[in-house]
Amino acid sequence: MPYVFPPPETVAVPVKDSGDSFAVNRIYCVGQNYSDHVKEMGGDPKKNPPVFFSKPANAIVVDNVPVKYATATTNLHYEVELVVALGSGGTNIEASEALQCVYGYAVGIDFTRRDLQAEAKESGRPWDTAKGFDQSAPVSAISPFENEKHHGDGRITLSLNGEIKQDSTLNQMIWSVAEIIAELSRFYELKAGDLIFTGTPAGVSSVSSGDRIKAAITGVGEIEFDILD
């Protein structure tokens, strides 16, 4: 049967150094997964498990395309994150088996309307408008993992107009990639094509139109783009 209007295009992320693309299914995100960032946001890293939330797949931006400053906010924040790309999935996955689901890794930005997130936290309301908006998930090409080290313990950095703002290492994550996959799979049936943003280290702050963001994870990838009016 014909569609009443053209169906949306498949969202795809390039696979590094190949002509292949990774078709995106869902985007899951972890909040509060680096102890220094939990402290800067006023929390106790050991008190609560990570928060899960999601973004729509079409929030993805690839190929260093410029990002338009989001509507309805005056406090748009960057958060650099390790992104896990799943090549398979399941439910109730054991942590010991979880890394078998991983296809590869990328570096991404979890853009956040921090003013709306603060209001949502204050009033106990959902985070959707603070997190799941258009162009809120720029991501690098995906690097298929090549050995048992997976993402390694590489340095994760973000610079704003050439000044380093976030600088940590992946071994500072409170929950590991395997633990995140296992926990997420208790709530959702994970599938090939899912992306998981794994949380950000300390140093988040706001951007303005005209800014240039560069983010990198050693051994994983990098991304560099402008914020437009």
Residues at the contact surface with Mn ion, assessed by CB under 5 A: 79, 110, 200
In whole angstroms, how close is the CB of 33 to Mn ion at the nearest point?
Answer: 8
Question: Hey, how many other C-beta atoms are within 10 angstroms of the C-beta on 67?
Answer: 24
Q: Which is nearer to Mn ion, 15 or 201 (CB)?
A: 201
In whole angstroms, how close is the CB of 224 to Mn ion at the nearest point?
Answer: 19
In whole angstroms, how close is the CB of 177 to Mn ion at the nearest point?
Answer: 15
Sign of CA dihedral 112, 115, 121, 127: negative
Q: Which is nearer to Mn ion, 168 or 200 (CB)?
A: 200
In whole angstroms, how close is the CB of 20 to Mn ion at the nearest point?
Answer: 27
- Burial of 91 from C-beta contacts in 10 A (0-12 / 13-18 / 19+): exposed
150, 99 in Cβ contact below 8 A? Answer: yes
Q: What is the CA radius of gyration of the chain?
A: 17
Q: Which residue is nearest to Mn ion (CB)?
A: 110
- Burial of 3 from C-beta contacts in 10 A (0-12 / 13-18 / 19+): exposed
Q: Which is nearer to Mn ion, 15 or 54 (CB)?
A: 54
The position carrying tokens 């090409």 is 141
Q: Which is nearer to Mn ion, 15 or 114 (CB)?
A: 114
In whole angstroms, how close is the CB of 152 to Mn ion at the nearest point?
Answer: 21
Q: Which is nearer to Mn ion, 13 or 110 (CB)?
A: 110
